[in-house]
A and B are shown apart, each in its own frame.
Chain A
Amino acid sequence: MTFSRLQLSFVIILFIGISNHVLMLPHLLFVAKRDAWVCVLVGYGILLIWGMILFFIMSRNKQKMKLATWIAKRAGRVVSASIMFIYFFHISIIALISFYDFITSIKIYFLPLTPQWIVVLPFLLLCVWGASSNLKTIVYSATFLLPIVWILGYFVAFSTISNKDYSYMFPILVNGSSPIISGITVVLGGSVDILLILLLQQYVSKPFKLWQLLLLITILLGLILGPLLGSIASFGPNVAAVLRFPAFEQWRLVELGEHVSHLDFFAVFQFISGAVIRVSLCLYFLKDIGFTSNKVKSIVFWSASTSLFFIGILPISDLWVQTAIGTYFYPGLLLIGIILTLSLFVISFLPQKVKGTEAV
């Protein structure tokens, strides 16, 4: 079963958008404050070049093979298994963190008194349902959800214009280079998710063109830049840097005239859309990534789902999680990204073995 490039782009935009919008901002603002948007621009430049490398890797897979098979044919089963293991690790971590972050936001702002499992269980059911059949469920929901999410995004951006003063973007680069470097690490680390596009190659009807890939990267970086500039302009860099959900806080500023306010429930729609697509796709990848036996697939799938349930329900302190994400998650992701890119780049130069080994 294949999908159009546009359909898959919708999935990717929701998948990465939620992390760029919600998960990344507090950390980016915390390390780089007013310079955060400069970090996004520099990161964008780097990612454009990286996008060309990514495109090269993709173009070496004209047969639309599954990534695991493609690697195995060129570098053997051991290399393929190791790379798939890194992917597996990466996807597990981002699934856990996204799931946890979504549950936390609901706990803080919307349902503080509701027992945790009532929030966790329905949401998890949605994700499991989305991931349990084929990719179609995820793709079709994404194409349905993204336009609404997008319109709501513009709505919050424009309806809070009177609360914003973009002169707070300046002065930049007055605190030396260390905030910039930490900020770029966060931006690049968060963007490593784009590598997951390689896992979707066998589902795309026509291969992505270079400009399409670069446009996708542009949109994804725009998804960081928009709410980032918005929160600096609304709250100033120092207040924005201490907000737990700086992008969402802009929703709480919306006032239409005197009588209409408290429209932040719309944000829940955005939150859920992003989180459902992200977690479902992660679950889907986890079983789809390279396991051949159906039994193993379903063991992986159900143990991953159970872990998500426990991550949502266990009393883990967000204070600890936030520190861990800031200190280890983004630098770690960046490292994963570099390792994956380099090895895939090298592999794409290797000749395809004529007597191809079977898929791992």
Chain B
Amino acid sequence: MRADLQMLLKGFLVLPLLFLTSCSDIKEVQNLNYVTAIGVDFKDNEYIGYIQLISFNSQGANGSSGEPSVWVSETKGKTFDEALSRAYNTSQERLLWAHVNTILVSETALEEGFHHIFDVLTRYYELRLVTWIFGTNAPIKDVFSTTSFFNQSALATVLHRPLGTYEQNSTIRPIKLQQFVRELYEPALTTYLPSIRINESHWVHNMEPDPKLEIDGAFFLKNKEFKGFYTLEVLKGLRWLTKETERAGIQVMDDEGEPDFNIVFEKNEVDIKPVEGKGPLSFDVKVSLEGVIANRDANKILNLKEMEANLREEIHKEIKDLYKLGVQNDTDFFRLEHILYRRKNKSWKSSLGDGGFKLSENMLEDIDLNVKVIHSGALKNRTINMEEID
């Protein structure tokens, strides 16, 4: 009987545990302001922090009633942390950082060094490393205030959901903070952030110009060094040597320089390794691509072998052009130094002795391109020639 009583007593002792959880840490959802994006700029020796808050009125799907509303705060401070903290002064209600979706860093802040920003973004427990991260040259206030279509919330933009467009047209792979810091703090590795800007010319809404966000290039960084901004056009060769590439198209010209056909590649495999043996340092590049015909403008090159040869030539040229630019600007677009660091660490170490790893023209001699055109879509490998109709 006494044992039963004891059990009962213990039971009563334990019961409150179920209700005690987080009684003072509880946050009322309606009393919180959800930060959706954080921006950093650096001007006149000061950090400028930006915070994006969006209204939940337009959180719904297409055609929800309200106009999308976005608020952006701008605060300054000696450090990034100080700048962001000033936003508390005017935030009215508790700011919740747990749902930050994207980080936007200005070029000047990148030049100043990302390591000043990393610590703030990682240490505080509400922030997570799975946020996207971008660079920009545009005013961050404007970027954060640019919304998407159909009165959808500001979350429906490439800034918050970059994968959708990347899957359709891959050039600059979007990157999450976790992957970015993994690469930034890795010795001898050159990484890059996609660059966001506002495009004012592509769209009109009810005949009024409607600005939209676009990815227009990338910022390159190697550890503490800022390596500069490059446009999409210049970086075309990058996608062929990027593992993440999902879908990439290329136009092939005929001998006279007129457009002939266009291939979209949907599968790619990349392998770059340093060449074994003595002699000057060089790298073997192996790329396998599988694609389909996306468009045929003329019927000039029809033989599969010839098509593939022409494709190889075009792709080869894109890669080579970017590589040459890298040699000129001392930017290791294809991460050759890091490949050396991983695979032949001794050679890499000895290169440090003579002033560090230097790219040179002939390091990327051998590019082995294996290109396959798998099908030609709903049409045969011909287009209808207007002259030939009968």
Contact = CB atoms under 8 A, between A and B. Distances in A.
Interface in B1-41: 10, 13-14, 16-17, 20, 22-25
A110 B24 CA distance: 11
Contacts of A109: 125
B345 interface: yes
A118 B128 contact: no
A238 B186 contact: yes
Interface residues of B, number: 30
Given A125-B17, A129-B10, A174-B345, A249 B129 contact: yes
Nearest to A253: B130
Interface stretch (B176-184, B205-213, B294-302, B364-372): B176-184
Interface string B314-349: 000000000000000000000000000111010001
A108 B127 CA distance: 12
A236 B345 contact: no
Q: Interface range on chain A: under 10, 10 to 19, 20 to 34, or 35 or more?
A: 20 to 34
B24 A112 contact: no
A126 B13 CA distance: 10
Contacts of B122: 239
Given A171-B342, A174-B345, A236-B181, A252 B129 contact: yes
Contact of A234 (B22, B182, B185, B345): B182
Contact of B186 (A114, A125, A236, A252): A236
Given A125-B14, A129-B10, A255-B130, A168 B186 contact: yes
Nearest to A238: B185
A341 interface: no
B98 interface: yes
Contact of B182 (A110, A125, A168): A168
Given A125-B13, A129-B14, A261-B130, A114 B183 contact: no
A113 B22 CA distance: 9
A199 B185 CA distance: 45
Given A129-B10, A239-B181, A239-B185, A171 B345 contact: yes
A224 to B, nearest CB: 21
A115 B22 CA distance: 10
Interface in B77-129: 98, 122, 125, 128-129
Interface in A245-261: 249, 252-253, 255, 258, 261
Contacts of A209: none
B23 A114 contact: yes
B128 A252 contact: yes
B116 to A, nearest CB: 15
- Residue from the set A118, A236, A253 with the largest chain B CB neighbour count within 10 Å: A236
A206 interface: no
Nearest to B182: A236
A271 interface: no
Contacts of A235: 129, 178, 181-182
Contacts of B25: 110-114
B10 A163 contact: no
B220 to A, nearest CB: 18
A122 interface: yes
A165 interface: yes
Nearest to A264: B128
A97 B314 CA distance: 62
Given A129-B10, A252-B128, A253-B129, A110 B186 contact: no
A163 B128 CA distance: 13
B13 A262 contact: no
B24 A113 contact: yes
B387 to A, nearest CB: 50
A107 B183 CA distance: 30
A258 to B, nearest CB: 8
B37 to A, nearest CB: 16
A167 interface: yes
A328 interface: no
A110 B20 contact: no
Interface in A86-137: 108-115, 118, 122, 125-126, 129
A167 B130 CA distance: 20
B311 to A, nearest CB: 29
A239 B17 CA distance: 37
Interface in A147-184: 163, 165, 167-168, 170-171, 174
Contacts of B14: 125-126, 129
A252 B130 contact: yes
A112 B125 contact: yes
Contacts of A113: 24-25
B23 A118 contact: yes
Contacts of A249: 129
B317 to A, nearest CB: 29
B182 A262 contact: no
Given A163-B179, A235-B181, 18 more contacts: A113-B25, A115-B24, A126-B14, A129-B10, A129-B14, A165-B182, A170-B342, A171-B341, A171-B345, A174-B349, A234-B182, A236-B186, A239-B185, A252-B128, A252-B129, A253-B129, A261-B128, A261-B130
20 contacts: A108-B125, A110-B25, A112-B25, A114-B24, A125-B17, A126-B17, A163-B176, A163-B178, A167-B342, A168-B182, A170-B342, A171-B345, A235-B182, A236-B185, A238-B185, A239-B122, A239-B182, A249-B129, A258-B161, A261-B130
Interface of A: 108-115, 118, 122, 125-126, 129, 163, 165, 167-168, 170-171, 174, 234-236, 238-239, 249, 252-253, 255, 258, 261-262
A-B pairs with the 9 shortest C-beta distances? A236-B182, A238-B185, A171-B345, A122-B17, A111-B25, A113-B25, A174-B345, A114-B25, A114-B24
